[in-house]
Structure 1
Amino acid sequence: MCADTPNTDTAAPDYKDTLTLPETDFPMRAGLPKREPEWLDRWARLGVYDRLRAQAGDRTPFVLHDGPPYANGHLHIGHALNKTIKDMVVRSQQMMGRDARYVPGWDCHGLPIEWKIEEQYRKKGRNKDEVDVIDFRQECRRFAEGWINVQREEFKRLGITGNWADPYLTMNFHAEAVIAAEFQKFLMTGTLYQGSKPVMWSPVEKTALAEAEVEYHDKESFTIWVKFRVSDFGSPEDDRSFEEESDEDREAVLKALTATAEKFVGAHVVIWTTTPWTIPSNKAVVYGADYDYGLYEVTGTPDECWLAVGERYILADKLAARTFERARLSEGQYRRVSDVSAEQLSRMTLHHPLAGAEGANGEWDAPRDFRAADFVTDEEGTGFVHCAPSHGMEEYELYRDLGMLEQVITYNVMDDGGFRADLPFFGGKYILNRKGGEGDANKAVIDKLTSVGGLMARGKIKHSYPHSWRSKAPVIFRNTPQWFAAIDRPVGDGQNQNGKTIRERALTCIDQVAWTPQAGRNRLHSMMEGRPDWVLSRQRAWGVPLTCFTRKGSLPTDPDFLLRDEAVNARICAAFEEEGADAWYKPGAKERFLGDEYAPDEWDQVFDILDVWFDSGSTHAFVLRDREDGAADGIADLYLEGTDQHRGWFHSSMLQACGTKGRAPYRGVLTHGFTLDEKGNKMSKSLGNTIAPDDVVKQYGADILRLWVAQTDYTSDQRIGPEILKGVADSYRRLRNTMRFMLGNLHGFTAANAVEPAQMPELERWVLHRLAELDAKVREGYAAYDFQGVFQALFNFATVDLSSVYFDIRKDTLYCDPEDSLGRRAALTVLDLLYHRLTTWLAPILVFTMEEVWLERFPGEDSSVHLVDFPDTPTAWRDEALAAKWAGIRQARRVVTAALEVQRRDKVIGASLEAAPIVHVEDNSLRAALETVPFADICITSAIEVSGAPAPDGAFRLPEIPGIAVVFAEASGDKCQRCWKILPDVGDHTHPATCARCDAALD
């Protein structure tokens, strides 16, 4: 049927005005960038989010707890992805009958903001240390407030729904009071302690960092092979059995030991390190008890070599050749003298390469500890590891467990990454420069080792190295007093249902959480199994302080070191509630909080601030627990962030909640991947491959960005770029045309004209069956947060089942049948049912476009698609037998359509209505099915013959659909000038040049 094509036959009557053609103001071109702000203004006037909360009634709440973005800078594409997924979750849950609450939030404290203010100071020549701390904190607060307002508008522009009028901020006074109260729970239950251990430290930012604040980038480092001289081989008297031997045996042992000592004393144990700056802090060397070691002697040397003929070196056999190669020796320039057993190694005494150096003032003269350790590897290096327990966690733990920390801990590196001023040779040298580049410490150490003959070889290596994700500068491990939460110490709160320690509770609770995708469970579980104690303290100014006091003169191990008093805690929290955390820094704060019960001069006030991950980890308390629009039990239905938050927010929230409430703060966790460019490369400003959400919105509109999110598998990394967005826009246009077709034909339709399903033709009932199938799929998909699956199902239905099949077939009925005919009313009824479902089903994804579609039919002042639920779809619409029948009919139609396309391509016909093909069908049941339906109308031909006779040679076939063949034949008769079918009866009726159906319609 081609009645919507202009009539070019001027001799025939023009019946165009007698057709019921689509009528709509819904434009083909969306104009989203211009129109979307109008809908945003409308939603604001309507108060859509507040209305939904007010009319929630007894709906079951659904709470998606927002992981707070940082209030620092414009949004990037990752923000847009994250917030759009959250919005689709919230909107779909709401439209499926829940009371879906979403309180957006912001992370406001911490180093990035403090760093920005310091940068402003530096540009003005101001010194931060000379500024009053409260004034400085107020500047940080104002900076955060400014960016919160910017980001809020950028999020709203993306169509994100939520309580934007009252978001949560970690710097709100109530939030700061609750964060302090949550910290005090760690204080009161005995999990808080002060310790001195190596932590990741940013010399540029002068603060400790948590693992979640570190990212790994390639870095070129110096690498050196350092010689530790064997100075002694021990005495036989060291063995208890020696005195039990006879004089003769003792003499033999002594002789053998002397010979062995002569072989080893003066030899060198060689270590390899990529951190030359740690050599001045060396306190020990360790080896692997189960590895094979050998004594090697240099027999020849090339030019420019630091080794000399006759020198002896002890190395792991597996690594010896590689080590000598680095020292520029070829295979024939050294020989293996003998084995070196673990027992022999244990007898040796080593000296630091700087021992006895002129000007060293005895700094390194004491012998180095030398023992076996489990963490030594024979995969790289030399088989020996130098230990500076102040700068390495494995070494620290080794000597902690040995009870030897006092002997091996050093304090050579200051908070700015410089060596202490009085350290011989290296005082005042810096590991990094002020911008995070290579300082002068490594070179100074290498040069000094070279001058004293302490190096075997040196070089450079490119390897993955931890950097601060804020300053992008490398970090170091540095021993410094910090405050920790013990995750393996029993929590003294009596909540032992999930375990006694924080780690036990976390590992138990992880298996109580629904993970999407499931791999997130394994990732967090492995992290929890191996993580160290939580470093809570930071040496900064902008944040919530560690609200505790320590007794002067006491050691951290003393039982009365920390003040534990609920009355003191209550005074602190009350002050924070009224004045914010600035109250901690006001004059007289110590006296105010200690009250009359304690003498202020007996207590020190702690001024470190809390790790910002403790802030965000505590949000469950001041958002979920304390807000009316939170969760009644303080537990969110869903936390949703990127995969990096397994070591970030998911992680800290689990730790914090297990420490304070004994269980996880979430029932479900959903993670998404990262956003890459079209080639799969990480986005970088330096590469020029970033895409700002604002740019996409200005060019295409926010709905195109949202549709990109819906079309991607967000559980993996996603790609975005100009070509991808063009493809998304094309999908959008196809979907928009589907909606426009429905709107045009539904003009003037009312429920009074509706037809019951039982009265409908089979084609309409097949569409209803598909709707019932889709209803289940859509609800299951949205419940599983499978937006890609939901959209793909709806898009395929709209463009294939509807546009290419149902709409194509029913145009003739809709345009040409009498307005009140049963067939036309049945088709309109189905269009109405389709409209209500497609518009609402797609509303969580295309929030602006579906509002536009909705308002075309329901333009009332209080009308909005976002105020309604998904309509109930009767299960009675499902008809599997009918669906199976129509699957066969559609297969036959495909063959006919393809056959006619060949004739159209060859210019035999111009339109399918010029054809009256013969369809040969081998299957009896399919042939019978075709005879029960108007197959000519289904194939959009003027006539059609279905035959059971064998198909002649040359009949058209599709290889993938056997048993069906088509023989082309032209339609006979004249062309009806109203419906354009070619029929024998055209011209035999009252109205000129019409068929019987059109003649009756005109009457």
Structure 2
Amino acid sequence: MADATNDTATEASGRDYRDTVFLPETPFPMRGGLPKKEPEIIAAWGDLYSHLRATRQAQKAPLYVLHDGPPYANGDIHIGHALNKTLKDFVVRSRFLLGYDVDYVPGWDCHGLPIEWKIEEQFRAKGRRKDEVSKSEFRKACREYAAGWIDVQRDQFKRLGITGDFDNRYATMDFSTEAAIVAEFHKFKNSGQLYRGSKPVMWSPVERTALADAEVEYHDHVSPTIWVKFPVVGATDSHPDDLLSFRAATPSVVIWTTTPWTIPANRAISYGPEIAYGLYEVTALEEGLDYEPWAKPGDRFIIADKLAEDVFKAAKISGFTRVDAINPSGLECAHPLAALDSGYGFSVPLLAGDHVTDDAGTGFVHTAPGHGADDYAVWLAHGHREVPDTVDADGAYYEHVPLFAGLKVLETEGKKTGKFGPANGAVMEKLIEAGNLLARGRMEHSYPHSWRSKAPIIFRNTPQWFIRMDEELEDGATLRDKALTAIDATAFHPAAGKNRIRSMVESRPDWLISRQRAWGTPLAMFVDKQTGQPLHDPEVDTRILKAVSEGGADAWFDRPDADFLGAHDADRFEKIQDILDVWFDSGCTHAFTLEARDPAHGYVGDRPSHWPADLYLEGSDQHRGWFQSNLLEGSGTRGRAPYDAVLTHGFTQDENGEKMSKSRGNTTDPAVVIKESGADILRLWVALVDYAEDQRIGKQILQTTVDAYRKLRNTVRYLLGALNGFDEAERLDRSEMPPLEQFILHRLWELDGQVRQAYEEYRFQDVVRPVLEFCSGDLSALYFDVRKDSLYCDRPDSVRRRAARTVMDEVFMRLTAWLAPLTPFTMEEAWTTRFPDAGSNCARVIPETPGEWRNPVEAKRWAGVNTVLEVVNEALEAARRDKLIGGALDAWPVVTAPADLLAPFEGLDAAEVFRTSGAELVVGGDAVTVEVKLADYPKCARSWRRVPDVGSDADFPDLSARDADAVRWLDAQKA
């Protein structure tokens, strides 16, 4: 029938039939009003997570553990937080939905530089420098700052609909947590995996601390480039006779570098054993230049043959001759600054190195073992042990560095903070003075920066604490071996994550775990001043842990050494003042959050967990960060990763696929989205994107999400209205149902399997998209439209109407369950609208879907019906546009088609399927053709169908026989 909500069905005698039509009724509004409604639902939920756990534990449900990677407690949540936490909530809620007991404890990362910087700013604003503030006062301010942001972020996550054990959240700054981290550190100390080494590490002069790989990002940077001459001063007999002869100019090995400031730290030159080198003599220089080149005719240079022309072009050399082939092995050079200061009077050997290529530069690599990983490795590989210290923690040359004492490599104060200082320029000037600068230029390239300060970093030799990656432990395996084995045993979603983290672990250096800051967990140990080895004494360790658990990290810094050392001579031991890298902190979270609550480890309580976790879920950048630190910590202390599976998501970009930036104004604030549209809109956006890739968000994309939400909401609203007053007495068995109902039950069976499997495999997009298509296609475009006439006009006790309401009940029960993890607010509102006393929709499990609902016969039938229906709909629409008919009920289409195309209509009322007053099916032709004829019969005043039996009942002359029977039944009920 047509929409009876806007027209009056009135018989000629004057009776108004509107009150006899069974129109859908529901208080569930068409407009969601989510910004206002959602907080009310949150309040009604109360401690939902505790209720869900208690319910599942009473059901003896299997335990599922999702371990939370901690966000940093230093600001409002951003869209990346919203994506990450929403995905985690999808996991938590879907596992509850699948019948699990779910352990999920939200946590926060609290230590580290961002908070330390913020507190320094606060003290500076009060006129106090950091070194004027005691460590205890400074750490207390850091702790209070982090605690405030934990409260803010917790409320923001809850508003997003996140459910978890917030009341028992973890934080890396809690006293008990700091003690647990120290205990994990002691395991490495006591197992022999820890050592102090002096080697070049990535160092931030601005932050005055070493950085790990995960704390470094790369940005384009313009660096000075120089070609430097190292005069040859010694050679073996394998070289040409006149190589060092005064009969010709003494040759120089030419190096190229983008870090002139490292020249004072040079101790060697590396060459490639497989590279062809030549001895070249300058014969001519370019003319007409504004300056005089530093090269002269007769100069001799040793350069890789492949790169000679590039070098001479940079040096403005127009003519040259290759004198001979050269094997660099055995050559020794003078330092290019030796003529200016005796401090550089040492010999510079040429060392073979596999890292040297002839792709760029000169084919030789200037080697400063204190300022580069490759430099350090080749230096040690050739038997050298002394590594010079050239640059201090502030990025300035030490006082003992000849010619350059005190000059800054990087500025660390004032307006120029983070900019390169005068060191580069000073070194170049001295090279010119010494006559050993061949050429210089500028080059834009990718350069490492601190991801916190955004300032450039340097490689700097400094004593640090490391965990060995390649030392065999008691079982004969190395930490690297164990970590790689653990990776192979882990399930990755997507699968490509395994290769990514595996390649990182295969090539990573020893784990640098020390930092030189104040706000963090200490490397709480003593080192023997005589041997340089950490103290291994269980009683000392016990006293340290007890003190830290009672007073936090402050206890380590504030209490006298004797409190910990007991009978040991305090003068013999050095108290380590460094703090642990924050990645080590968060790498231990599994120990105090999961293992500490695992019944297998003696836990007694009402909220158990298990170790390892079933899943870790973070952004793909955490292959280098949190996933890896947990992997190494777990493998080093327990022999395996603390997780069975790892899921990663991409990063959120703006609508144009560009990185979000506050300065560019292209960010999307989740708080704004929630205020304007509601959290369910943001959650639905997360469900719709392919989270494994980078996602896009913006106003237009969110509008598309709102449109999708309306389809879901309208579907649920229609079901609520159509099911008004439904009770079990109406329910029909599947065997009693018409074909259309059996087809919808089949689709429910089909979707149920898809949804369950998709949730099991964390494919949330494969939940919402098929459900959306089901709502807009099978339900709205077919089922609801076909059954509208029956729902509105059939007698309530008719088989067809009872079947429709039974199926709609099954649809409602599954839709509200399937979508509960994704749009929990809307599904909760729908559920409580229909069942106000049935508890929370969130506590349900997916209803079991009987296997007998599977019906491939009806699935095939309705696929065939739809083929014909599409053609009929197009013909009806054309007739409507041409004003041949006002609506479908004015039509009586004649459909002609081959027998096989009409076969699916056997046993069906074609007019019911077409939503017309009548229809005629004719076998013939090669394709479906439709002639739209008018339904030339009186119009029923109640259902508006034009059918032959209108007026056949004398008591109701304006009604069809079906409608007359329904009204008579209704009148009898009222009587």
TM over 0.5: yes
| Counterpart code for 1:412 | T
- The Cα of 1:3 is off from its aligned counterpart by 4.2
The aligned counterpart of 2:973 is none
Long gaps (5+) in structure 1: 240-252, 952-962
The aligned counterpart of 1:52 is 53
Preserved contact between residue 712 and residue 772 of structure 2 (Cα < 8 Å):
yes
Preserved contact between residue 203 and residue 432 of structure 1 (Cα < 8 Å):
yes
Taking the TM superposition and a 5 Å limit, the aligned residue runs for 1:625-644 are: 625-627=595-597, 632-644=609-621
Mapped partners of 1:970, 1:21: distance in 2:
27
Preserved contact between residue 639 and residue 668 of structure 1 (Cα < 8 Å):
yes
Taking the TM superposition and a 5 Å limit, the aligned residue runs for 1:254-265 are: 257-258=241-242, 261-262=245-246
The aligned counterpart of 1:404 is 384
- Please tell me the root mean square deviation across aligned C-alpha atoms, in Å: 1.7
Mapped partners of 2:294, 2:232: distance in 1:
18
3-state SS, counterpart of residue 104 of structure 2: strand
**Does the alignment pair 1:414 with 2:392?**
yes
Mapped partners of 1:629, 1:398: distance in 2:
57
| Counterpart code for 1:134 | S
The aligned counterpart of 1:250 is none
Taking the TM superposition and a 5 Å limit, the aligned residue runs for 1:301-700 are: 301=285, 302=287, 303=289, 304=291, 305-329=293-317, 333-342=318-327, 345-357=328-340, 360=341, 362-406=342-386, 409-434=387-412, 435-492=417-474, 496=475, 500-554=477-531, 556=532, 561-588=533-560, 590-596=561-567, 598-627=568-597, 632-700=609-677
| Counterpart code for 1:791 | V
**Does the alignment pair 1:905 with 2:885?**
no
- The Cα of 1:223 is off from its aligned counterpart by 1.2
| Counterpart code for 1:607 | Q
Distance 1:347 1:514, change over 3 A: closer
Preserved contact between residue 7 and residue 14 of structure 1 (Cα < 8 Å):
no
Mapped partners of 2:180, 2:663: distance in 1:
41
The aligned counterpart of 1:150 is 152
The aligned counterpart of 1:995 is 960
Q: Deviations over 1:97-119 (max 9, x none)?
A: 11012100001111111111112
Q: Deviations over 1:99-157 (max 9, x none)?
A: 01210000111111111111222233312122211111111111110110111111111
**Does the alignment pair 1:283 with 2:271?**
no
Taking the TM superposition and a 5 Å limit, the aligned residue runs for 1:912-931 are: 912-924=888-900, 926-931=901-906
Preserved contact between residue 433 and residue 439 of structure 1 (Cα < 8 Å):
yes
Quick check: 317-326 or 669-678, which moved more? 317-326
Mapped partners of 1:716, 1:942: distance in 2:
50
Preserved contact between residue 768 and residue 877 of structure 1 (Cα < 8 Å):
yes
Q: Deviations over 1:774-796 (max 9, x none)?
A: 01000000001000111001000
Q: Deviations over 1:241-299 (max 9, x none)?
A: xxxxxxxxxxxx9xx62467457762221111111111110111111121111222222
**Does the alignment pair 1:965 with 2:929?**
yes
Preserved contact between residue 49 and residue 165 of structure 2 (Cα < 8 Å):
no
| Counterpart code for 1:648 | G
- The Cα of 1:54 is off from its aligned counterpart by 5.0
Mapped partners of 2:760, 2:630: distance in 1:
24
Q: What is the identity percentage for the equivalent residue pairs of Structure 1 and Structure 2?
A: 52
Preserved contact between residue 48 and residue 866 of structure 1 (Cα < 8 Å):
no
Preserved contact between residue 894 and residue 933 of structure 2 (Cα < 8 Å):
yes
Mapped partners of 1:467, 1:391: distance in 2:
15
- The Cα of 1:592 is off from its aligned counterpart by 1.0
Preserved contact between residue 242 and residue 248 of structure 2 (Cα < 8 Å):
no
Mapped partners of 2:51, 2:441: distance in 1:
65
Quick check: 89-98 or 888-897, which moved more? 888-897
Preserved contact between residue 331 and residue 349 of structure 2 (Cα < 8 Å):
no
3-state SS, counterpart of residue 83 of structure 2: helix
Structure 1 counterpart of 2:911, from 932, 936, 942: 936
Preserved contact between residue 540 and residue 564 of structure 2 (Cα < 8 Å):
yes
Preserved contact between residue 194 and residue 468 of structure 2 (Cα < 8 Å):
yes
Q: Deviations over 1:706-759 (max 9, x none)?
A: 000000000000000111001101111111111110011111111222111111
Q: Deviations over 1:816-862 (max 9, x none)?
A: 001121111111111111001000100100011111111111112x7
3-state SS, counterpart of residue 299 of structure 1: strand
Preserved contact between residue 232 and residue 265 of structure 1 (Cα < 8 Å):
no
**Does the alignment pair 1:758 with 2:735?**
yes
The aligned counterpart of 1:215 is 217
Quick check: 966-975 or 525-534, which moved more? 966-975
Distance 1:690 1:263, change over 3 A: farther
The aligned counterpart of 1:242 is none
Preserved contact between residue 243 and residue 251 of structure 2 (Cα < 8 Å):
no
The aligned counterpart of 1:975 is 939
The aligned counterpart of 1:958 is none
Taking the TM superposition and a 5 Å limit, the aligned residue runs for 1:62-211 are: 62-211=64-213
Mapped partners of 1:260, 1:801: distance in 2:
90
The aligned counterpart of 1:957 is none
| Counterpart code for 1:944 | A
3-state SS, counterpart of residue 975 of structure 1: coil
Q: Deviations over 1:602-634 (max 9, x none)?
A: 111111111111111111100011135776542
Distance 1:904 1:259, change over 3 A: closer
Distance 1:264 1:980, change over 3 A: farther
3-state SS, counterpart of residue 103 of structure 1: coil
Q: TM-score w.r.t. structure 2 length?
A: 0.95
The aligned counterpart of 2:921 is 946
Preserved contact between residue 89 and residue 162 of structure 2 (Cα < 8 Å):
yes
3-state SS, counterpart of residue 545 of structure 1: coil
| Counterpart code for 2:768 | F
Distance 1:65 1:826, change over 3 A: same
Quick check: 294-303 or 219-228, which moved more? 294-303
| Counterpart code for 2:575 | Q
| Counterpart code for 1:198 | P
Quick check: 612-621 or 626-635, which moved more? 626-635
Distance 1:11 1:867, change over 3 A: closer
Preserved contact between residue 918 and residue 947 of structure 1 (Cα < 8 Å):
yes
The aligned counterpart of 1:228 is 230
Mapped partners of 1:928, 1:487: distance in 2:
71
- The Cα of 1:17 is off from its aligned counterpart by 1.3
Q: Deviations over 1:845-885 (max 9, x none)?
A: 0011111111111112x721011111111111001112111
| Counterpart code for 1:907 | K
Preserved contact between residue 3 and residue 812 of structure 1 (Cα < 8 Å):
no
Mapped partners of 2:785, 2:776: distance in 1:
11
Long gaps (5+) in structure 2: 598-604, 969-975
Distance 1:169 1:77, change over 3 A: same
Q: TM-score w.r.t. structure 1 length?
A: 0.93
Mapped partners of 1:592, 1:438: distance in 2:
45
Distance 1:54 1:948, change over 3 A: closer
Q: Deviations over 1:437-486 (max 9, x none)?
A: 12121111122222322211111111111111111111111000000000
3-state SS, counterpart of residue 460 of structure 2: strand
**Aligned pair count?**
949
